Structure 1
């Protein structure tokens, strides 16, 4: 094994036994009795992709790798989410639903936990747009971009002075004469936001009044959206 970091705390013999293939074998031995053949085959297909992707790209899961570079490849294979088949945006997955999405996530989490966490944040942005797209073209465009890995997604709830309290937010939304909304406020710790083209922001018509809360799909290229990265030491590869 190539030593790319300053200090190696575990010897090569043990590291070899902690390979992605061996970790997957351990998982599969515990799951094969409780999964249907179709579910188990889907799990193994995601695992095979992860192992080949790791080998092809010489991934070491070290601190200098940009996990967001991997998103398009996983999106192209349909491994961002399998909660729905998404047939209305010309994706139409054959294996979908809670069990398949859980298998997808298990395989990716063992591949790289921080990458899986970033994918989870994208799914949190996908869910409200899926439930409320209403056939609106821009919403379907955002869905397809996030589902197919063209862009990560982010959900903007947490605020510096309110935490993740979606009921007592300070970010406001004011309806304009033309029917659009003007949002004002500050969010923080919104996983993927600096890397995302699409985000879903929570805001209220009145500060601290959760009964007036609404969700807004935002293209981060729009005027007035400003974002900086907040470094979190225990997830150094996430933005």
Structure 2
């Protein structure tokens, strides 16, 4: 594979984070999967080591380095260590930056230091039972009452839903006159009328707590409005490119891990007096996957460079999310097949990776929605041959 571009500091960061996962996270993952939730101490330990949030300025407790490659390393190492159920990036780089982009200085000072330390765990609540990829279909409302907003509605499939202390909730602020007008609201643990439902049982990612949230006349003070309460939809769209790059970075890393597990297995497994790796079928299957993995890794690394430059488009991120999720599902499926009966047993990691992977073609926008976004982009433009676009 072509050489990847990380700084010396980032290489040292990777070594330290890999050691942290090996010592503080990996030994407890099985217990957390059985419990259906990660112990809050995992967030605090990561915060103590400076691994939870890298980007916040030093005045808020972070390192003040917004280079996405630090989060890329965290995402990759979690997949390589099989600790991806602990979705620390959801807290650190998916939800946290909403505070940076749209928060007031008072909100940053009030919330960020505890988020960096891991004392406050973050979640974001957009999805509803009848509104997933189509955010305009949401029914939750937040009505201006003068000195506060009154929040009502429910959300579902919310990651970190049980652990979260601070939830960014999307709700309509003028449902009668402008049903597409959405605001974002900071809902804190303990607010009257804010309740959590079940910790939902899922096909995969067992240690990630995923919950229903309910809001019954929750009074949201104006100090907890995030950004412009009439421009929440735009706020969400502004963050989507990086969010989908986060997903794509996770998916390609998981696919790399699944390939390694499969390659190791076929080298050791014997059949008819030969290793599975000696059979042409195994070689051709793995060669095809190896080529696709290397090609997509290059694209993801280019997208990382683009997000650091501020030039990553929503369409380019949608392409990354689409192809990496589809490839991951292909790699784990081939991995199970090449493992044979062993691939169906949970004692082999490929089995768990297979069930974990299925949701990747759904969350952060389904594969079908990604295809709509990509096709709209080229269909709405005047046609130009590829050579004329260079």
Change (3 A) 1:132 1:233: same
Distance in 2 between the 1:94 and 1:202 partners?
28
Does residue 141 (structure 1) correspond to residue 110 (structure 2)? The answer is: yes
Match of 1:237 among 207, 210, 214: 207
* Alignment match, 2:169: 201
Does residue 175 (structure 1) correspond to residue 144 (structure 2)? The answer is: yes
* Alignment match, 1:125: 95
Does residue 64 (structure 1) correspond to residue 34 (structure 2)? The answer is: yes
How many residues are aligned here? 202
Change (3 A) 1:86 1:160: same
Deviation at 1:141, TM superposition (A): 2.5
Contact 2:57 2:65 (C-alpha < 8 Å) held by counterparts:
no
Does residue 46 (structure 1) correspond to residue 14 (structure 2)? The answer is: no
Distance in 1 between the 2:129 and 2:153 partners?
10
Does residue 34 (structure 1) correspond to residue 2 (structure 2)? The answer is: no
Change (3 A) 1:40 1:31: farther
* Alignment match, 1:159: 128
Contact 2:14 2:77 (C-alpha < 8 Å) held by counterparts:
yes
Does residue 188 (structure 1) correspond to residue 156 (structure 2)? The answer is: yes
C-alpha RMSD of matched pairs (Å): 2.5
Change (3 A) 1:223 1:139: farther
Deviation at 1:147, TM superposition (A): 2.3
Deviations 1:38-92 (A, max 9, x none): 221111111122223258xx4363533652331110121121232x242231x14
Change (3 A) 1:210 1:108: farther
Show structure 1 runs of 4+ deviating over 6 A.
Answer: none
Deviation at 1:144, TM superposition (A): 2.2
Larger radius of gyration: 2
When normalised by structure 2's length, the TM-score is: 0.47
Does residue 81 (structure 1) correspond to residue 53 (structure 2)? The answer is: yes
Contact 1:139 1:217 (C-alpha < 8 Å) held by counterparts:
no
Gaps of 5+ in 1: 1-29
Deviation at 1:188, TM superposition (A): 0.3
The structure where helix makes up a greater share of residues is: 2
Does residue 109 (structure 1) correspond to residue 49 (structure 2)? The answer is: no
Gaps of 5+ in 2: 210-390
Distance in 2 between the 1:157 and 1:72 partners?
26
Change (3 A) 1:142 1:164: farther
Distance in 2 between the 1:87 and 1:120 partners?
19
Does residue 93 (structure 1) correspond to residue 52 (structure 2)? The answer is: no
Change (3 A) 1:132 1:33: closer
Distance in 2 between the 1:32 and 1:40 partners?
13
SS of aligned partner of 1:50: helix
